[in-house]
Amino acid sequence: MNINTGAVLVLSGPSGAGKSTLLNEVINDIGECYFSISTTTRSIREGESDGVHYHFVSEKEFKQDIEEDMFLEYAHVHGNYYGTSIKPVKNALKAGKLVIFDIDVQGNAVVTNRLGDITTSVFISPPTLSELKHRLEARKTDSKEVIERRVQMAKKEIQRICEYDFLIVNDSLEIAANVLRDIAKAARLKIPGNEINEFTYNWEDID
């Protein structure tokens, strides 16, 4: 990994795919990293803490930050705003850390466009739509209407898997975690385009 620029690992997938569970399985095995905490206007859930799971703000505050161009990316999903603040991400990259994003398909497109060749993207999915619905219902945190919206959104998200570098089918937690560990380690080895160009330029050292 380039110690000056760091690297970026994007995790996406439908709500209920198990992204947080997978990340918790591997976080102690992938070296120094910074988990980008999203800012959101949705209500805080039982067991969540502000500044740990999300930065919870009002819609007015969020829109003010949009006007001040404070987000690397943001999106309006399931009736709420979600976004990624720029400053802590830049600081982590300068420190040579692996910056991990848990963002939707819209956010992945923006991050890949802005951070480009230091980005590795992973789409995480349960094996089937019916399994996804089962997991959402088992959480017992959302109403039937919200679950149905998440299912419909998942149908759209799955069509954009081709935009990602890797797909992890989260059927077996152990197997999926092993794959994610390998991908995270590989992400650290990605070399930015400017460094490749510099290497190529200096490689012909014979006068």
Q: What is the pLDDT of residues 130-167, one digit of tens each?
A: 999 999 999 888 889 999 999 999 999 999 999 999 99
What percent of the chain lies above the pLDDT cut of 90?
A: 55
Give start and end residues of each alpha helix (H) in 9-143. Answer: 19-26, 59-67, 86-94, 105-115, 129-139
Mean pLDDT across the chain: 90
Phi, psi of 113 (to 5 degrees): -70, -40
The most confident of the ranges 83-87, 124-128, 190-194 is: 124-128
Residue 141 CA from chain centroid, whole number: 22
Average pLDDT over residues 57-63: 94
Q: Say if CB 124 and CB 13 are below 8 A apart.
A: yes
pLDDT for 205 equals: 81
Question: Which structural domains are found in the chain, ordered by start?
Answer: 7-36+98-203 (3.40.50.300)
Tens of pLDDT along 3-41?
A: 456 899 999 999 889 998 999 999 999 989 998 888 999
- The count of residues in the chain is 207
Count Cα neighbours of 54 within 13 Å in the Cβ-side half-sphere.
Answer: 22
Q: Say if CB 191 and CB 183 are below 8 A apart.
A: no
Rounded Cα distance between 112 and 86, Å, is: 14
Q: Would you say residue 71 has pLDDT above 70?
A: yes
**Ramachandran region of residue 123, left (φ > 0), alpha (ψ -120 to 50) or beta?**
beta
Token pair for 37: 């905490």
Kindly tell me the sign of the dihedral angle through the C-alpha atoms of 67, 69, 71, 74.
positive
pLDDT for 10 equals: 95
Of all helices (H) and strands (E), which one includes residue 147? helix 144-157
How does residue 123 score in pLDDT terms, banded at 50, 70 and 90?
A: very high
